[in-house]
Structure 1
Amino acid sequence: MTKDHIGYNKIVNKSMFLVIEEALLFVKKNSGFPGDHHFYITFDTKFDGVDLSLNLLQKFPEEMTIVLQHQFSELDVKSNMFAVTLHFGNNPERIVVPYKAIRKFFDPSVNFGLDLNTGNYEQTIPSKNNTIKVNHETQDPHQPNILNGNETNSGQVISLNQFKKDLKK
């Protein structure tokens, strides 16, 4: 396989971080979530720039998932990180998370998620005939998956590698 000199994975990851930043900015600008929207954000607690209390770091030495829904305050959104105050056992805790520390981002209200461990994202797309689940899973780290346009109503997901194999047949 040819080396990716353009750096598509880096571009895709940058785009996914921008999605998270824009979603958080929307919540901040609107002083909360519209409808049933809420976020599950999983991040690496040891990542450089993550700021947690010693108490939280001891409870979550590797990874932590936070839920932003109703009870959070002081949401601060920057181009490379976000910070928020959450309550754990009635104790306010300030949490600072660089976007690069995020491993998963999920909004269950619309079934949208990003898996930044692997560069995957998943979304359910409503269509006139049915609902299509699109899983953009990256099997090869240099080649993101695509949905075959001929099968949009079947809900079938085809990786780029499989698509290439099908073209050769």
Structure 2
Amino acid sequence: MSGLIDYGNLMHRAMRGLIFEVLTDVAQNELPGEHHFFITFDTSHPQVEIADWLAERYPGEMTVVMQHWYDNLSVTTEGFGVTLNFGDAPEPLYIPFDAIKTFVDPSVEFGLRFENSDTEEAETTELSVVQERGEADPAPEPATGEANADIVSLDSFRKT
């Protein structure tokens, strides 16, 4: 043991757990009120399962919207599966939690952003949490409207 608490990875797991709990509740009880999600994920992640035409169209990342129509939402501890409509063509997707880059619920101005960066010693995971107050933060591309939020980056607390 290095003698240091790895807060970055602890936060990473906690935020993935939050997404797991939210999606598990939605799978059991539907989306409440005006809640909806913009989920951006890495389409090249080895465990992502999407149609070939979607992988070709979105070779690096893709943002999906869970709002008015979604079907077959199933959640495991590793990720979630859902069928979404792409131009009147329902497509099943499987997205592991490790592939998620952002998770945003614009109805309550909440979002999570997971960023990877390489350091000289090793790859580390940084986490930014979008909170419900503060200045404008750009919403994901499909989002309509603006979200007012602060972004708190763990890098500001990291020792150099």
Give the TM-score of the pair, scaled to structure 2: 0.78
Q: How does 1:103-118 map to 2 (within 5 A)?
A: 103-117=101-115, 118=126
Distance 2:104 2:149 in 1: 15
CA contact (8 A) 1:124 1:134 kept: yes
Once the two structures are TM-superposed, the CA of residue 100 in structure 1 deviates from its matched residue by: 0.4
Q: 2:31 is paired with a residue of what secondary structure?
A: coil
Q: In the alignment, is residue 119 of structure 1 matched against residue 127 of structure 2? A: yes
CA contact (8 A) 2:74 2:81 kept: yes
Which structure has the higher relative contact order (CA within 8 Å, separation 6+)?
A: 2
Q: 1:27 is paired with a residue of what secondary structure?
A: helix
Residue aligning to 1:137: 153
Q: Cα RMSD over matched residues?
A: 2.2
Segments of 5+ residues of structure 1 without an aligned counterpart are: 127-131, 144-160, 162-169
Once the two structures are TM-superposed, the CA of residue 60 in structure 1 deviates from its matched residue by: 0.5
Call closer, same or farther: CA 1:42–1:139 in 2, change over 3 Å.
same
Return the index of the structure with the highest Cα Rg.
Answer: 1
Q: Specify which of 90, 94, 110 is matched with residue 88 of structure 2.
A: 90
Call closer, same or farther: CA 1:5–1:45 in 2, change over 3 Å.
same
Aligned length: 136
Once the two structures are TM-superposed, the CA of residue 89 in structure 1 deviates from its matched residue by: 1.6
Q: Write out per-residue CA displacement over residues 88-142 of structure 1, whole angstroms, 9 at most, x where no aligned residue.
A: 121111100000000000000110000011300111159xxxxx95432222584
Query: Which ranges of 4 or more aligned residues in structure 1 deviate by more than 2 Å?
Result: 3-6, 132-135, 138-143
Distance 1:34 1:135 in 2: 25
Distance 1:23 1:41 in 2: 13
Residue aligning to 1:28: 27
Residue aligning to 1:37: 35
Q: In the alignment, is residue 18 of structure 1 matched against residue 17 of structure 2? A: yes
CA contact (8 A) 2:37 2:66 kept: yes
Structure with the larger strand share: 2
Once the two structures are TM-superposed, the CA of residue 5 in structure 1 deviates from its matched residue by: 2.6
Distance 1:95 1:38 in 2: 17
CA contact (8 A) 1:8 1:142 kept: no
